[in-house]
Amino acid sequence: MSAERVTKFGHSCVRIESGAARIVIDPGMFTDAGAVDGATAILITHEHPDHYLPAHLLACDAPVVTIQAVADKIRAEAPEAYERVRVIAPGETVDLGVPVTAVGELHAVIHPEMPRFNNSGFLIEATKTYFHPGDALTAPDGPVDVLFAPVSAPWARSSELIDFMRAVKAPQNLAIHDRIYSDLGAMIFDGHVNAFLPKEGLAYTRLGDGEDF
């Protein structure tokens, strides 16, 4: 049995278990509260409610690693959790049982006339290297074994999402940010992805909530 386990939860939430570390990323409004059970750390990429829900932070006692913009919201909305917050800066690495590095600074452009939000992707270096970009298409500098790949968003075209996967070149791509499409829309997108990635030796997987990767 592998010492490392990855579980997909609602929308953009994933949990990585490696040794004693149990890291949960982006438990938001589409995520069941059970995703944070036993968490040893929670990572929040940015402040949008599909990635950040104060109730999830209050449902456990795990430290929270996030950017300053999210820390400010936690202080206002869930002050009981704020004492557990550690702010991370772009390029900074923290030890959460495994090394976690912040990648990037800004959310993808939603519309040119809208202000940009702050966003940090997270590179997790366990037995394998995992990358969760949040709501951005900013790739890390080094190699990635598993990319948590956004697959539907009001801030991206399908071609951009596919080309991001191709640019990162992770051998394994796990679909996240997938509550926007209907089942039919997801099937169409998956077909587009599988027209490109296998030609480059890259695999693509979409899991249901609570399923292991």
pLDDT digits (tens, 9 = 90+) for 72-101: 999 999 999 999 999 999 999 999 999 999
Work out how many domains the chain is built from and give that number.
1
Tell me the per-residue pLDDT of 156-184, one tens digit each, with 9 for 90 and over: 999 999 999 999 999 999 999 999 889 89
Helices and strands counted in the chain (H then E): 5, 13
* Residue 132 DSSP symbol: E
Q: How far, in Å, CA of 175 to CA of 141, rounded?
A: 21
- φ, ψ of residue 167 to 5 degrees: the values are -70, -40
For residue 33, being part of any structural domain is answered with yes
- CATH code, domain with 141: 3.60.15.10
Which of 89, 84, 13, 76 minimizes the C-alpha distance to 44?
A: 13
Altogether, the residues listed in the chain come to a count of: 213
For residue 212, being part of any structural domain is answered with no
Residue spans of beta strands (DSSP E) within 110-165: 121-125, 129-132, 146-150
Dihedral of the alpha carbons of 23, 27, 33, 36, in degrees to the nearest 10: 10
Three-state SS for 163-188 is HHHHHHCCCEEEEECCCCCCHHHHHH
Distances (CA, A) of 68 to 32, 75, 124: 25, 10, 20
For residue 96, being part of any structural domain is answered with yes
Determine the structural domain holding residue 132 and report its residue range: 4-205
Tell me the per-residue pLDDT of 109-131, one tens digit each, with 9 for 90 and over: 999 999 999 999 999 999 999 99
- Mean pLDDT, rounded, for 23-50: 97
Residue appearing with tokens 């679909």: 175
Q: Tell the burial category of 22 from Cβ atoms under 10 Å away from its Cβ (0-12, 13-18, 19+).
A: buried
For residue 106, being part of any structural domain is answered with yes
Q: How large is the angle between the packed helices 158-168 and 183-193, nearest 10 degrees?
A: 50
Tell me the pTM.
Answer: 0.96
